[in-house]
Copies of this chain bind each other. A is one copy, B any other.
C-alpha cells in the first residue's frame, strides 16, 4: 500500500461550519484509502492573534512534509484566484516532489474570470491573441483553472486539476460542494493502483 497520507489543502478552515465540512472531507478521503493530515485536522478553526501565526504555520509545514499526497481546493476565494495559503501549499508540495491534485467548483477558466469579473469585459485584444485589461495589464489566457504556475506545476508532476463543469450550471454551494473533490480522490486512488 505504501504511504497514503494526504494533505487536504483549502480555505474550508474559514467557513462558519468549518468543522463539519472538514470532517466530511476527511471521511471521504478515508473512504478512498487515504489518511488525511492537516490543516487543522482536529479543530474547528485556527486561533486568532499574531502570536499564533508561526505555530499554525509550523503545524501545516510539518503535516505537508509527512504527507505523500496533496489534494487542494482551488475554487476562487474572495477574488479571482484560489486562497493564497492553498496556493503556497501547492507550490510547497510540488517542490517536495509530492503528487498533487486540485479541484475547483468554478466552471470558468482563469482568463475568463479576469476578463469578466475583474475588468467587467473591458479588455483589449491585440494581434497574436494578446489580451490586456483596461489598465494595460496582460491577462493570462492559457485556458487554465488559475495562474498557469499552479495548473502546469500540478500537471508536470502527473497530477490533474479537475473542474466542476456540471452542464455549465453554477454549483449551488461552491464553498462546500464535494462532488469534484470526491472525483479527484477516485482518480487518485486508481492512479496509485495502475
Contact = CB atoms under 8 A, between A and B. Distances in A.
A116 interface: no
A90 B129 CA distance: 30
Q: How many copies does the complex hold?
A: 2
B138 A53 contact: no
A80 interface: yes
Contact of A84 (B128, B150, B156): B150
A70 B176 CA distance: 35
A152 interface: yes
A182 interface: no
A interface, size bucket: 35 or more
Interface string A96-129: 1000000000000000001000100000000011
A170 interface: no
B92 A57 contact: no
A83 B53 contact: no
Interface in A17-51: 18, 45-46, 48-50
A138 B85 contact: no
A79 interface: yes
A48 B139 CA distance: 9
Given A87-B87, A87-B88, A137 B58 contact: no
A186 interface: no
Given A48-B128, A91-B90, A144 B84 contact: no
Interface string A167-182: 0000000000000000
A156 B80 contact: no
Contacts of A53: 142, 144, 148, 151-152
Interface of A: 13-16, 18, 45-46, 48-50, 52-54, 56-58, 60-61, 64, 78-85, 87-96, 114, 118, 128-132, 136-144, 146-153, 155-156
